[in-house]
Amino acid sequence: MSRSAHPAGPRHADVLPEGHYSAPPADLNALDPKVWARTVARDEHGVLTVGGIDVKRLAEEFGTPAYVMDEADFRARARAWRTAFGNDADVFYAGKAFLSRAVVRWLHEEGLNLDVCSGGELATALSAGMPADRIAFHGNNKSAAEIERAVRAGVGRIVLDSFQEIVRVAHIAQSLGKRQRVQIRVTVGVEAHTHEFIATAHEDQKFGIPLAGGQAAEAVRRALKLDGLELIGIHSHIGSQIFDMSGFEVAAHRVVGLLRDIRDEHGVELPEIDLGGGLGIAYTSDDDPREPHEIAKALTEIVTRECEAARLSTPRISVEPGRAVVGPTAFTLYEVGTVKPLDGLRTYVSVDGGMSDNIRTALYDAEYTVALASRSSDAEPMLCRVVGKHCESGDIVVRDAFLPGDLAPGDLIAVPATGAYCRSMASNYNHVLRPPVVAVEGGEARVIVRRETEEDLLRLDVG
Ligand code: LLP
């Protein structure tokens, strides 16, 4: 996945370089279990089903576009993470990937904790009954009001992101007569994305306090002196959509190095280490993510080894997967509005949503796949680009994909692996209404986030 954001416009209409897209799949009706939620299948008529319900029924009942979430799959993935790390570690689901009150309840029931990074996420978590001590509060610029709310609520930890924040949180906690458990987020000089990682000067970003130049050590010094704070550990998050564990290895090595320095200087062994999130998922069949138990084993081994080498007792590990829990559990269901063949190029398939419900393609050049969902087809594959209804040529949902040549207006198509960072990054661009999230489980479907209405739009616009 390229990280190069670029201006929307002509580039999107260019012919792609040779080799950008692969040959059509052998069977266009096949559903690769790597990219589809677990209960997704085709029924005897070829219609896509999830949780025992076919998508035609979902479209009739809830309309399109809609995010359709497989609750059993969500719970299974949450449980797999929980089980993989066992009782000696904590899994904090990163709410930024997708958060709703139903999701908070599922997480609570499955024994996960929750990472929030804004007052809005905190409010959602608390209103759905997540115990405050199982919430971690993140963010590089938390407002005083947000900090106060988190401290009052009794969140389990606040992750400190700057020198100013160390003082700010200490002051607020003290003025409330509390001692707040905190971690310090450090930047270890590693940035990892997908298949590669770079261990150089990636301190050049807004998050955390650099290890370089003794800055993190100085932050620890200050935090340890403040009565309002109980420093419980060090936090590191190295990137997104990571498949390769070597970035975590370097990060753990450097964080443990800091823990050793802290012990040597202050005589304290901090009890926790948080390695953040960023574990990758399969957006297309080319991606090969690892299972949670493999990740847990690898991370635990890395931290244990590093601590043995530093003669430290192994701290309690925590991780913050967002995408890897929720990403694969949902697909977006769209209705095809127009099918426009462009001779010698490709066919443009316009759907009833677009960059407002999935900004990732435009923002990160993210790759997705798509399948005809309301029926199967034996027609020849045609190279398509799935585009939205927005007034912008960069409004692309799936850049290159093969769909059956008999695709027609009124067909339903589904884009898998849209559970993470699609609804949570959705916008009202062009005053398009944000789609609902429909949870499906055991033959039943229910709305967990309702579709936005024109009244919702107009309510905010006070005239
Ligand atoms: N913990 C921290 C401190 C984070 O900053 C993030 C993500 C996570 C955990 C969860 O990462 P995950 O496991 O979901 O990859 N909008 C981008 C992703 C931004 C992630 C920001 N931080 C995308 O759509 O790919």
Nearest atom of ligand 1 to the alpha carbon of 323: 14
Select from 323, 325, 364, 365 the residue to mutate for testing ligand 1; criterion: most ligand atoms less than 8 Å from CB: 323
Helix (H) or strand (E) holding 340: strand 330-342
Q: What is the C-alpha separation between 299 and 317, in angstroms, rounded?
A: 9
CATH fold for the domain made of 138-321? TIM Barrel (3.20.20)
Q: Pairing relation of β-strands 444-449 and 437-441?
A: antiparallel
3-class DSSP state of 146: helix
Q: Give buried/exposed letters for 355-372 (b at 16+ CB in 10 A, else e).
A: bbbbbbbbbbebbbbbbb
Closest C-alpha residue for ligand 1 atom 18: 240
Tokens encoding 22: 């692969």
3-class DSSP state of 356: coil
Q: What is the C-alpha separation between 198 and 272, in angstroms, rounded?
A: 25
pLDDT at 147: 98
Tell which residue, 19, 115, 33, has the closest CA to residue 70. Answer: 33
Tokens encoding 35: 């990219």
Separation in Å, CA 350 to CA 12, 122, 175, 406, 412: 15, 37, 56, 15, 11
Cβ–ligand 1 contact at 280 (below 6 Å): no
Tokens encoding 171: 């002051």
Cβ–ligand 1 contact at 423 (below 6 Å): no
Nearest atom of ligand 1 to the alpha carbon of 366: 25
- Structure-token match 């800055």, residue found: 215
Nearest atom of ligand 1 to the alpha carbon of 363: 24
Rounded to the nearest 5 degrees, what angle is found at the Cα of 246, between the Cα atoms of 242 and 252? 100
Nearest atom of ligand 1 to the alpha carbon of 237: 3
pLDDT at 336: 98
Separation in Å, CA 413 to CA 129, 147, 389, 410: 36, 43, 15, 9
What residues does 319 pair with on adjacent strands?
91
CB under 8 Å to 237, separation ≥6 — which residues? 185, 207, 208, 275, 276, 277, 278, 320
What residues does 340 pair with on adjacent strands?
348
Nearest atom of ligand 1 to the alpha carbon of 138: 3
How far is ligand 1, taken at its centre, from the CA of residue 40, in Å? Answer: 26
pLDDT in tens, the chain (463 residues): 444 433 333 333 344 444 455 688 889 999 999 999 999 999 999 999 999 999 999 999 999 999 999 999 999 999 999 999 999 899 999 999 999 999 999 999 999 999 999 999 999 999 999 999 999 999 999 999 999 999 999 999 999 999 999 999 999 999 999 999 999 999 999 888 877 787 755 677 899 999 999 999 999 999 999 999 999 999 999 999 999 999 999 999 999 999 999 999 999 999 999 999 999 999 999 999 999 999 999 999 999 999 999 999 999 999 999 999 999 999 999 999 999 999 989 999 999 999 999 999 999 999 999 999 999 999 999 999 999 999 999 999 999 999 999 999 999 999 999 999 999 999 999 999 999 999 999 999 999 999 999 999 999 999 9
Q: What is the C-alpha separation between 362 and 397, in angstroms, rounded?
A: 8
409 annotated as ligand-binding? no
Select from 96, 99, 116, 287 the residue to mutate for testing ligand 1; criterion: most ligand atoms less than 8 Å from CB: 96
pLDDT at 359: 98
422 given a catalytic annotation: no
Cβ–ligand 1 contact at 156 (below 6 Å): no
Select from 240, 279, 427 the residue to mutate for testing ligand 1; criterion: most ligand atoms less than 8 Å from CB: 240
Nearest atom of ligand 1 to the alpha carbon of 320: 9
Q: What is the C-alpha separation between 40 and 63, in angstroms, rounded?
A: 19
How far is ligand 1, taken at its centre, from the CA of residue 319, in Å? Answer: 12
The structural domains of the chain, with segments of one domain joined by +, span: 25-70+327-458, 138-321
Closest C-alpha residue for ligand 1 atom 16: 421
Tokens encoding 417: 């692996």
Tokens encoding 312: 């430290």
Cβ–ligand 1 contact at 278 (below 6 Å): yes
21 annotated as ligand-binding? no
Alpha-helix residue ranges (DSSP H) falling in 64-100: 71-85
25-70+327-458 in CATH: which number? 2.40.37.10
How far is ligand 1, taken at its centre, from the CA of residue 224, in Å? Answer: 28
Do the domains 25-70+327-458 and 138-321 sit in the same CATH topology, yes or no? no
Q: What is the C-alpha separation between 89 and 156, in angstroms, rounded?
A: 14
pLDDT at 199: 73
Tell me: the pLDDT tens digits for 40-94?
999 999 999 999 999 999 999 999 999 999 999 999 999 999 999 999 899 999 9
Cβ–ligand 1 contact at 276 (below 6 Å): yes
334 annotated as ligand-binding? no
Cβ–ligand 1 contact at 421 (below 6 Å): yes
Provide the CA 31 distance to its chain's centre, in angstroms. Answer: 22
How far is ligand 1, taken at its centre, from the CA of residue 47, in Å? Answer: 34
3-class DSSP state of 275: coil
Active-site annotation holder among 117, 307, 391, 422: 391
278 annotated as ligand-binding? yes
444 annotated as ligand-binding? no
Q: What is the C-alpha separation between 455 and 258, in angstroms, rounded?
A: 53
How far is ligand 1, taken at its centre, from the CA of residue 187, in Å? Answer: 15
Cβ–ligand 1 contact at 360 (below 6 Å): yes
321 annotated as ligand-binding? yes
**Total length of the chain:** 463
Tell me: the pLDDT tens digits for 2-51?
444 333 333 333 444 444 556 888 899 999 999 999 999 999 999 999 99
Cβ–ligand 1 contact at 320 (below 6 Å): yes
